[in-house]
Amino acid sequence: QVQLVESGGGSVQAGGSLRLACAASGYSASRNCLGWFRQAPGKEREGVAAIITGSTSTYYADSVKGRFTISQDNAKNTVYLQMNSLKPEDTGMYYCAAYKGPFFLCFTSGAGIIGGSNNYWGQGTQVTVSS
């Protein structure tokens, strides 16, 4: 059973930075597809970034390109989301996700991890950005 545990959320002023971590366990494959989603009150959950572990392949939503960076530490089975130049609109609950399908379908448009319907989920960590 895949388990995902997020940490690193908090409150920060606009322009500040936070780093989220997602510790993953229960995997047997050498390459996996993991990512980060966020959900603001009253809004749909949005895929923010994704990565194929053991590779340099990444995905970013347009809203975070140039500000957020997803990375991995394979030795620790941990995926990070470095968030810089934070804006109030980045506020929300951030969830770590692991795609249940094969890693080579990770970024498949309309499906894959960003489709959101075939993922394992963490419990979430709150990020609040004040103006």
Kindly report, residue by residue over 28-85, the tens digit of the pLDDT: 677 899 999 999 989 999 999 999 999 999 999 999 999 999 999 988 899 999 999 9
- Quick one: pLDDT band at residue 16, thresholds 50, 70, 90? very high
pLDDT of residue 130: 97
Q: Could you tell me the CA-to-CA distances from 62 to 38, 65, 68, 81 in Å, in that order?
A: 14, 5, 10, 15
Does the pLDDT at position 99 exceed 80?
yes
Q: Where are the alpha helices (DSSP H) in the chain?
A: 112-115
Does the pLDDT at position 6 exceed 90?
yes
